[in-house]
């Protein structure tokens, strides 16, 4: 039985490994790069250090010539709206689960009440993790601004 579980784990790890490394890249080639080698991943190109640095500099120049694409105000507005939506969803889920546990505790038998008491530990720790993450997110946003 143990060897079967080990075989399943090894097969699962191998499947994940092959899935990760078989994902094709759909990145468009930049200006001045050779597109013939992008069709095959198995081809190997050797570059000198000067070529690598030159291609890196040309990549940076292309990015700087396009100007600022990301607008900070739009990014902050999107981040704030995403924060508020997720925070409200977290509150609703926490209140709903707490209400269900409370009703089970009040109306259940002694065994059900014992089960509810054991469920309270993960519920409270989950609430601490979720709302702690939101507090950390808000503090980071305030520091960055």
Tell me the C-alpha distance between 145 and 141, whole Å. 6
Q: What is the pLDDT of residues 98-138, one digit of tens each?
A: 999 999 999 989 999 999 999 999 999 999 999 999 899 88
Instruction: Name the strand (E) or helix (H) holding 87.
Output: helix 72-107
**CA atoms of 79 and 137, how far apart (whole Å):** 10
Cβ neighbors of 10 (< 8 A, separation 6 or more) are none
How much is the pLDDT for 45? 59
Q: How confident is the model at residue 100, as a pLDDT?
A: 94
Average pLDDT, the chain: 79
Residue tagged 């689960």 (tokens): 97
Locate 40 and state its tokens.
Answer: 């095959």
The pLDDT, as a whole number, for residue 38 is 47
- Please, which pLDDT band fits residue 23 given cuts at 50, 70 and 90? low
Q: Which helix (H) or strand (E) holds 6?
A: helix 2-21
CA distance 127 to 133: 10
pLDDT at 32: 56
41: confidence class by pLDDT, cuts 50, 70, 90: very low
Indicate the pLDDT class of residue 40, thresholds 50, 70 and 90. very low
Tell me the domain boundaries of the chain: 73-144
Under 8 Å between Cβ of 31 and 58: yes
Return left, alpha or beta for 67; rule: phi > 0 is left, psi -120 to 50 is alpha, else beta.
left
Number of neighbouring beta carbons within 10 Å of residue 126: 14
């Amino acid at each position: 039985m143990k060897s079967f579980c080990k075989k399943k784990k090894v097969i699962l790890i191998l499947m994940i490994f092959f899935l990760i490394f078989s994902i094709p890249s759909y990145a468009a080639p930049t200006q001045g790069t050779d597109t013939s080698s992008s069709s095959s991943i198995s081809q190997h190109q050797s570059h000198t250090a000067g070529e690598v640095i030159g291609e890196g500099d040309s990549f940076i120049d292309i990015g700087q010539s396009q100007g600022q694409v990301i607008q900070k105000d739009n990014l902050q507005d999107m981040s704030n709206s995403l924060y508020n939506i997720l925070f409200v969803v977290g509150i609703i889920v926490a209140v709903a689960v707490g209400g269900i546990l409370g009703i089970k505790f009040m109306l259940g038998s002694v065994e059900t009440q014992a089960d509810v008491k054991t469920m309270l530990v993960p519920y409270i720790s989950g609430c601490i993790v979720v709302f702690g993450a939101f507090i950390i997110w808000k503090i980071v946003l305030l520091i960055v601004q």
